[in-house]
Structure 1
Amino acid sequence: MDETVATTGSHSTGVEIPLLNNFVDGAVDYRGHQVLRSKSGFWRSARFIISVEVAERFSYYGVSSNLITYLTGPLGQSTATAAVNVNAWTGTASLLPLVGGFIADAFLGRYRTIIMASLIYILAIGMLALTTLVPSNCENLVGVTSCSPPLQVIMFFISLYFVAFAQGCHKPCALAFGADQFDATDPHEFRAKSSFFNWWYFGMSAGPAVGVFVLSYIQDNLSWGLGFGIPCIIMGLALIVFLLGTKTYRFPKKIEDKNAFVRIGQVFVEAARNWRTTPSVASLEEKACETFAHQGSQQFKFLNKALLSHDELNECGPVCSIDEVEEAKAVLRLVPIWASCLSYSTVISQTTTLFTKQGATLDRSIGSAFEIPAATLQSFIGISIIILIPIYDTILVPLTRYFTKKPFGLTMLQRIGTGIFISIGLMVVSAHVESKRLETAKEYGLLDDPAATIPMKIWWLLPQYLLVGAADVFTIVGMQEFFYDQVPSELRSIGLALYLSVTGVGNFLSGFLITILQNITGHNGEDGWISDNMNRGHIDYFYYLLAVISTVASFIYVYAAKSYVYNKKRPV
């Protein structure tokens, strides 16, 4: 790891194909030696990592997509309680990447963290499968909170949260490690990196599309133990595939400097310590502007006080450098974008809870003998993405590039914003379909029969699932690239964890809204908007409320995006 990387000058050429015998600056192989561009990284390594992430997503969605059915079935929970539990678990799973990213960036590194996470994944899903083998009679009982043995319930949730922790370590590190295989200083690899994020999400969607369709059927019709056991086997095979690519991987060379967490944290500490100090602030701000010559230095001016020494009479310089202050500002600039994306994740969190419960009330028959599980429609999110990613990468990017004159067509923030606006339409469509479902239940006198099948095909829900996929192609992929690109290189696992935490907080917000609405609309024994009897509830009102919240949030996002200053001089 301590060898000096040779400088070849090849990055200054405009060639499309990299020279064969040049080394990659700032990267080493698994033994700490210099790496040749022709034998390491790029798509040859990325394919291994994408394959592993396909398996990980297959396993994760094999657990999460039909979880509400298991909670309301074998574990006997109410619809509202199960929805809150699913949102809490999904939210935790989406926040834990912050922990996983910290472990990787501060201690283990991305490669070793992925291996650790895979081993925990295998153990956790195996435990989960074993807990489902305990027999339960919940389906035959009415009005109970839980009829499973307490130990089974405890072990089930412990295993479930171990799965959340494992994916929290796996997901941000795998994505960051995959992007690390592309050298941003090489023109050819730099352009390929943007396509990598598209095809990464293509793989992430292919895994769930297969997993949801196959595993939800097995779980509903054959065995929950088998339905959870298959992902355990898949994760074992995925770990083997990941290890097979070790010799081709590029590992970021360690920088002998203060840890990035220490550098950024020190800026905030020093700015706080000097907040009452006024001498020389103007001159320091002027110096910062002259040094960086961009608007970024004009934002968050209070951090410029980190450039002051503790004692203005002391000839010693400040603890923090201008570079470190600008680095801290770059991280802080992400916060408004992060916050304004929360409404999007709140909308998308309905796909694994209320969308599934809607589908369970509809006619799911195909032919005379086959009935598809309600969770199966979640696979169409992946199918939508699988279809749209190639269209975006090969058609939409060149088309928008022609009009915008920008190398990648839409900027990262424009791409995110497009998906947010699609999500507003998604909620309006979902509300309209739910209103139609309630009208049909009333027409056939089924309002007081929660177990009845509404004479309305489940395919009515298909447009809202397809819209989720379309929104994800823009917002999710855009957030992945944005949060990877706009943080210091040493903190890219944390950067991607920030993007994942948007989903986590959104799920918690969804659970919070459901709880509040239940208390407001379901008092005095009346059915609330989200009721165990779906035919007496009003999920359509909830969807319209989310559409209004998303509309307000979209204006906040536009303001935040227009005032955002990219911290790297790159063609955005």
Structure 2
Amino acid sequence: MAERFAYFGISSNLIMYLTGPLGESTAAAAANVNVWIGTVSFLPLLWGFLADSFLGRFRTILISSSLYILGLGLLSFSAMIPSHCDQDQSQRVSCSSQLQVTLFFCSLYLVAIGQGGYTPCIKVFGADQFDGNDLKEAKDKSSFFNWLMFGNCISILTTRLVSTYIQENLSWSLGFGIPSVFMAALKNRRQPNLDIANYSNETGLLLAHQSSKQFRFLHRSSDSLEITSVRKYITVLRLVPIWITCLVFAIVFAQSPTFFTKQGATMDRSISSGLLVPAATLQSISSLSMVVFIPIYDRLLVPIARSLTQKPSGITMLQRIDTGIFLSILAMVVAALVETKRLQTAHDDVTILMSVWWLVPQYVIYGVSNVFTMVGLQEFFYDQVPSELRSVGMALNLSIYGTGNFVSSFMISVIDKVTNQAGQTSWFNNDLSQAHLDYFYWLLACLSFIGFASYLWFAKSYVYNRPNTF
């Protein structure tokens, strides 16, 4: 929860900082946000390998969280560097010095490095406490992922309400600093007596006896070990079709901290006289919908489904994932319709701003889809890999979002360049009243439908590694 408070205290409002104090264009800022989030989601692959093969999960958590906190502190410091001019930020003129920009992006990517090691290991570290072969603990493990997401959403909701308001109304430095203090204050520095997740069975055995070259040689040259290792990596390769077909969901996932936020910034956000809701705070609606829906899903829908299917988790993990993907398509359709309505309102009378509450449905559907797909993917990539490779499995799950963000960044850059030629208006024009985000949302809805159909094709033929628990 502390880490989620820190991470979303940065990512939720990052596009507003880039287009505000740093003076970037909307398209460039959205692409930069997507690249950074993509990097955050890809680095777990490297950290997962290090954790499972050399460091162990607890040491990985300790090292990566230290880097994380250092990056957060430097990020807050970079925002304290004074600007060298007083230009109106609406003019898109950067008043930041080269030192500030350099320090900001170095700090931002140091946070990415730390977060890349922390996130996959902390989830596996908790889930490893449950025995998937025990019926009761299999039920508890499924609930663990639900309540892990519930706790994360509580923290995300809090930081979106607190940090974003402080950043836009008081101080960006203070808004970045509070998450770093929160993360540092709750960091666990105590080594547990028994680290169940510290070493994999085979790799950990090698490392524990690495001073004995003879033992290591005999262990590595074992034919049975080689055959077992090949089978384990084949098991991981079987997940690739699911990984690929979930990419479009990740592209949709990338729009909330970027264009959804910029979309809200152009609308009437006043809720009372003198009180203006920060655009990034609107993301709290998706977090709140998840907080409300997770207990309903875990305590009401799962028991009902369990009585019908006799499965510990009620429905299979793949069924849970495809439900969320379908809802993400619906979220994009609703977003496109609302954006079309907003543009029509702006064209009819530029003095009238459409109410920001029109965005509520797309945020709610988006949040509920996350409960199904995000949690389902976490459990799927944890459960369907060998126990010795679970950090790598969780990293593969996160890399879906990394790839989705990179693809989103690439799409935005290409579309912006193509639609900005020959005097045309870019889909991502800085003046969103002249832009066409609705076209982009319709494009994502179509791509999501294709991805959904492909997912159903592969999911239908997938055979679970441990069918007795699902």
| 3-state SS in 2 of match to 1:228 | helix
- 2-structure distance, mates of 1:358, 1:66: 13
Per the alignment, do residues 181 and 152 of structure 1 end up closer, same or farther by CA in structure 2, a change over 3 Å counting?
same
Partner of 2:210: none
Matched, 1:475 2:421: no
Q: CA deviation at 1:407?
A: 2.5
Structural mapping, 1:31-46, within 5 Å:
none
Which AA in structure 2 matches 1:209? L
Q: CA deviation at 1:328?
A: 2.4
Partner of 1:183: 131
Aligned 8 A contact 2:290 2:367 in 1: yes
- 2-structure distance, mates of 1:376, 1:66: 8
Aligned 8 A contact 2:53 2:203 in 1: no
- 2-structure distance, mates of 1:507, 1:138: 33
| 3-state SS in 2 of match to 1:366 | strand
Aligned 8 A contact 1:74 1:139 in 2: no
Partner of 2:382: 484
Per the alignment, do residues 146 and 557 of structure 1 end up closer, same or farther by CA in structure 2, a change over 3 Å counting?
same
Matched, 1:149 2:54: no
Partner of 1:526: 424
Matched, 1:199 2:167: no
Greater CA deviation, 127-136 or 347-356? 127-136
Matched, 1:216 2:164: yes
Partner of 2:79: 132
Partner of 1:232: 180
Aligned 8 A contact 1:73 1:138 in 2: no
- Uncovered stretches (5+) of structure 2, i.e. residues with no partner: 207-220
Report the structure, 1 or 2, having the larger helix content.
2
Q: CA deviation at 1:141?
A: 5.7
- 2-structure distance, mates of 1:195, 1:144: 47
For residue 201 of structure 2, the aligned residue among 255, 258, 274 is 255
For residue 163 of structure 1, the aligned residue among 107, 111, 124 is 111
Per the alignment, do residues 134 and 93 of structure 1 end up closer, same or farther by CA in structure 2, a change over 3 Å counting?
same
TM-score (norm 1): 0.76
Aligned 8 A contact 1:74 1:138 in 2: no
Partner of 2:237: 332
Aligned residues: 455
Matched, 1:404 2:309: yes
- 2-structure distance, mates of 1:431, 1:59: 31
Structural mapping, 1:267-346, within 5 Å:
322-346=227-251
Partner of 2:363: 465
| 3-state SS in 2 of match to 1:362 | coil
Partner of 1:110: 57
Per the alignment, do residues 254 and 92 of structure 1 end up closer, same or farther by CA in structure 2, a change over 3 Å counting?
closer
Partner of 1:439: 344
Rg larger for: 1
Partner of 2:413: 515
List per-residue Cα deviations over 1:58-83 (Å, max 9, x = no partner): 00000110000100010001111101
Q: CA deviation at 1:144?
A: 5.0
Q: Which has the higher contact order (CA 8 A, sep 6+)?
A: 2
Per the alignment, do residues 318 and 518 of structure 1 end up closer, same or farther by CA in structure 2, a change over 3 Å counting?
same
Per the alignment, do residues 461 and 325 of structure 1 end up closer, same or farther by CA in structure 2, a change over 3 Å counting?
same
Aligned 8 A contact 2:58 2:198 in 1: no
Q: CA deviation at 1:97?
A: 1.2
| 3-state SS in 1 of match to 2:468 | coil
Partner of 2:213: none
For residue 498 of structure 1, the aligned residue among 379, 396, 399 is 396
Partner of 2:300: 395
Q: CA deviation at 1:404?
A: 2.5
| 3-state SS in 2 of match to 1:468 | helix
- 1-structure distance, mates of 2:228, 2:194: 33
Q: CA deviation at 1:187?
A: 3.5
- 2-structure distance, mates of 1:320, 1:337: 28
Greater CA deviation, 202-211 or 561-570? 561-570
Structural mapping, 1:540-555, within 5 Å:
540-555=438-453
- 2-structure distance, mates of 1:161, 1:110: 22
Which AA in structure 1 matches 2:192? T
- Uncovered stretches (5+) of structure 1, i.e. residues with no partner: 1-53, 261-315, 447-451
- 2-structure distance, mates of 1:139, 1:430: 33
Q: CA deviation at 1:373?
A: 0.1
Identity %: 51
| 3-state SS in 1 of match to 2:469 | coil
Q: CA deviation at 1:366?
A: 1.3
List per-residue Cα deviations over 1:374-433 (Å, max 9, x = no partner): 000111111111111111111111112233332221101110010000000000000000
Aligned 8 A contact 1:78 1:145 in 2: no
